[in-house]
Amino acid sequence: MNGVVAIRQLLIADAALTALVPATRIQGGVLPQGTALPSVSITTVSGVDRNIPSPGATRHVTDRIQATVLAANYPSLLAVMDAVKKASADKFPTVSGISNVVVHTDGEGPDFMDETASIYLRTQDFRVSYTETR
């Protein structure tokens, strides 16, 4: 389990977001070329766990997760990005396999345009903290 799973779970559970982007197009990892738009790719940027002497059976982990919104036009990009943030910011989801999950936004990226593919892109970073079993 990791922060990607927690973010995806929040996104696909949000009716306002899935009205714009079907859950099948909200995925962990890099999306296959040719994926219909709009879509959301969720990836790990970095992760840190607290390594302490005699840590016990669990450890606290903080992942930096990036959601990348891909859309066919700029208004769609803005609408989906707004829905992504509302669906996942400042949440405490229950996620199978991990506990004490907390999600916060951690910076929104710039706009990009892949002119060859005619895809508008923007990123949103999250900090996902949780406890996992060693």
- pTM for the predicted model, two decimal places: 0.93
Domain span at 128 = 3-49+58-133
What pLDDT, on the 0 to 100 scale, is given for residue 1? 59
The answer, yes or no, to whether the previous bond of 38 is cis (omega within 30 of 0) is: yes
Which pLDDT score is estimated for 89? 87
Give 55-77 as a 3 state SS string.
CCCEEEEEEEEEEEEEECCHHHH
- pLDDT score, position 49: 84
pLDDT by residue for the chain (134 residues), tens only, comes to 589 999 999 999 999 999 999 999 999 999 999 999 999 999 999 999 877 777 788 889 999 999 999 999 999 999 999 999 999 988 999 999 999 999 999 999 999 999 999 999 999 999 999 999 88
CATH code for position 124: 3.30.2000.10
Number of domains in the chain: 1
Contacts (Cβ under 8 Å, ≥6 apart) of 54: none
